[in-house]
Amino acid sequence: MHIPPFLKSGDRIRVVSPAGKIRAEKVMPGIELLREQGLEVVIGEHVFAEHFQYAGTDLQRVDDLQLALDDPKTKAIICARGGYGSIRILEYLNFSAIKKNPKWMVGFSDITILHSVFNKLELASIHGAMPGFFIQNGQPSESFRNLLATLTGNPTIYNFDAHPQNRNGEARGELVGGNLSLLYSLSGTPYDLVTRGKILFIEDVSEYLYHLDRMMMNLRLSGKLEKLAGLLVGSFTETKDNESPFGKSVEEIILDAVRDYDFPVCFGFPAGHIDRNMPVILGAGYSLLAASSCKLEMQHNG
Provide the domain limits for residue 53. 12-151
Q: Which of 110, 133, 151 is the last residue of a domain?
A: 151
Share of the chain above pLDDT 70, in %: 99
Asked whether residue 205 falls in the same domain as residue 119, the answer is no
Range of lowest pLDDT (72-76, 110-114, 155-159, 175-179) = 155-159
CATH code, domain with 18: 3.40.50.10740
Asked whether residue 43 falls in the same domain as residue 130, the answer is yes
Answer whether 0.95 is exceeded by the pTM. yes
Asked whether residue 165 falls in the same domain as residue 249, the answer is yes
Query: How far apart, in whole angstroms, are the C-alpha atoms of residue 4 and residue 302?
Result: 13
Query: How far apart, in whole angstroms, are the C-alpha atoms of residue 13 and residue 31?
Result: 10
Using the predicted structure, report yes or no on whether residue 278 has a pLDDT greater than 80.
Answer: yes
The answer to whether residue 4 sits within a structural domain is: no
The answer to whether residue 74 sits within a structural domain is: yes
The whole-number pLDDT of residue 244 equals 95
Q: Which of 108, 132, 151 is the last residue of a domain?
A: 151
**Average pLDDT for 202-216:** 98
Catalytic residues, by residue number, are 109, 203, 273
The answer to whether residue 170 sits within a structural domain is: yes
Query: How far apart, in whole angstroms, are the C-alpha atoms of residue 186 and residue 236?
Result: 20
Share of the chain above pLDDT 90, in %: 98
Picking from 81, 74, 285, the residue whose alpha carbon sits closest to that of residue 199 is 285
Q: What is the pLDDT of residues 151-190, one digit of tens each?
A: 999 988 999 999 999 999 999 999 999 999 999 999 999 9
The answer to whether residue 6 sits within a structural domain is: no
Asked whether residue 146 falls in the same domain as residue 176, the answer is no
Using the predicted structure, report yes or no on whether residue 25 has a pLDDT greater than 80.
Answer: yes
Asked whether residue 147 falls in the same domain as residue 201, the answer is no
The answer to whether residue 255 sits within a structural domain is: yes
Query: How far apart, in whole angstroms, are the C-alpha atoms of residue 139 and residue 12?
Result: 23
Asked whether residue 112 falls in the same domain as residue 53, the answer is yes
The whole-number pLDDT of residue 282 equals 98
Query: How far apart, in whole angstroms, are the C-alpha atoms of residue 262 and residue 252?
Result: 16
Asked whether residue 123 falls in the same domain as residue 216, the answer is no
The whole-number pLDDT of residue 175 equals 98
- Helix 209-221 crosses helix 250-257 at what angle (to 10 degrees)? 10
Count the domains in the chain.
Answer: 2
Asked whether residue 75 falls in the same domain as residue 178, the answer is no
The answer to whether residue 167 sits within a structural domain is: yes
**Average pLDDT for 47-55:** 98
Using the predicted structure, report yes or no on whether residue 301 has a pLDDT greater than 70.
Answer: no
Q: Which residues contact 271 (CB under 8 A, 6 or more apart)?
A: 108, 127, 201, 203, 234, 235, 277, 278, 279, 280
**Average pLDDT for 188-196:** 96
Asked whether residue 146 falls in the same domain as residue 170, the answer is no
CATH code, domain with 262: 3.50.30.60
The answer to whether residue 5 sits within a structural domain is: no
Asked whether residue 96 falls in the same domain as residue 179, the answer is no
Asked whether residue 98 falls in the same domain as residue 177, the answer is no
Using the predicted structure, report yes or no on whether residue 300 has a pLDDT greater than 90.
Answer: no
Average pLDDT, the chain: 97
Range of lowest pLDDT (115-129, 233-247, 288-302) = 288-302
CA 212, 213, 215, 220 torsion-angle sign: positive
Using the predicted structure, report yes or no on whether residue 194 has a pLDDT greater than 60.
Answer: yes
Q: Which of 124, 151, 178 is the last residue of a domain?
A: 151
DSSP line for 201-250: EEEEES-BHHHHHHHHHHHHHTTTTTT-SEEEEEEEES-B--SS-----H
Asked whether residue 176 falls in the same domain as residue 66, the answer is no
Query: How far apart, in whole angstroms, are the C-alpha atoms of residue 218 and residue 103?
Result: 32
Using the predicted structure, report yes or no on whether residue 115 has a pLDDT greater than 80.
Answer: yes
The whole-number pLDDT of residue 302 equals 41
CA 120 to chain CA centroid, nearest Å: 15
The answer to whether residue 250 sits within a structural domain is: yes
Picking from 130, 107, 105, 138, the residue whose alpha carbon sits closest to that of residue 119 is 105
